[in-house]
Chains A and B, each alone.
Chain A
Amino acid sequence: MSTYTEDEQHRHYLGEEFLTWLWYRCETGGGTFEMPDENGIPREFGVLFDDFLVLRADERMPAEAGLSDDDLFESAESVLRRGAPSRTAEAGVALLRGKKLSRARLQVADGTRSWALVLDGTEMCLRSVKPPKPEAEDAREREKESLDALFALSDLLDHLYRLFLAERLSPRFREAVIPSMGEWMLAKSRLGAEEGGADSAEDSEEP
Chain B
Amino acid sequence: MPVLKTRGSFRRYQIEGAPIDLTAPETFAALRDQSFHAIDDTPTEAESSGWVSPWDPTGRDLREEDVRFGARLTLAIRLDKKRVPGSLVKIHTLAEERAEREALGVEHLPKKKRQEIRQRVEADLLARALPSVALHQVFIDTLRRIVLLQGTSDRLATTLAQLFQRTFGRGLRELSAGPLAERLESDPERQQYIERLGPLLLMPPPRRLVEIVPFTGGAAEGEAFRDDRRSRAALDRDSIDTEEIDTEEIDAEELDDEVSDFEDGGFDDEVDAAGDDANAGGFGAGIDAEDAADEEVAR
Footprint of B on A, CB under 8 Å? 8-18, 20, 58, 60-61, 64-68, 70-72, 74, 95-98, 100, 121, 123-131, 139, 143-144, 146-147, 149-151, 154, 158, 161-162, 165, 168-169, 171, 173-175, 178-179, 181-183, 185-186, 189-190, 193
Contact = CB atoms under 8 A, between A and B. Distances in A.
Given A11-B177, A14-B181, A179-B215, A147 B202 contact: no
Given A147-B72, A182-B214, A65 B201 contact: yes
Interface string B202-226: 1110110110001111110000010
B54 to A, nearest CB: 7
Interface residues of B, number: 66
Contact of A139 (B2, B228, B255): B2
Contacts of B197: 11, 14, 168
Contact of B225 (A14, A65, A97, A171): A171
Q: Which of A97, A165, A185 has the most chain B CB atoms inside 10 A of its CB?
A: A165
Contact of A95 (B202, B228, B242, B263): B202
A10 B176 contact: yes
Contacts of B262: 186
B193 interface: yes
B278 to A, nearest CB: 12
Contacts of B10: 125-127, 129, 150
A131 B6 CA distance: 7
Per DSSP, chain A at the interface is helix
A131 B7 contact: yes
Given A14-B177, A161-B184, A178-B215, A125 B206 contact: no
B242 A124 contact: no
Nearest to A150: B6
Nearest to B235: A65
A95 B214 CA distance: 14
Given A144-B69, A149-B6, A151-B139, A64 B219 contact: yes
Q: Which of B198, B203, B217, B225 has the most CB of A within 10 A?
A: B203
B202 A178 contact: yes
Interface in B181-208: 181, 184-185, 190, 193-194, 197-204, 206-207
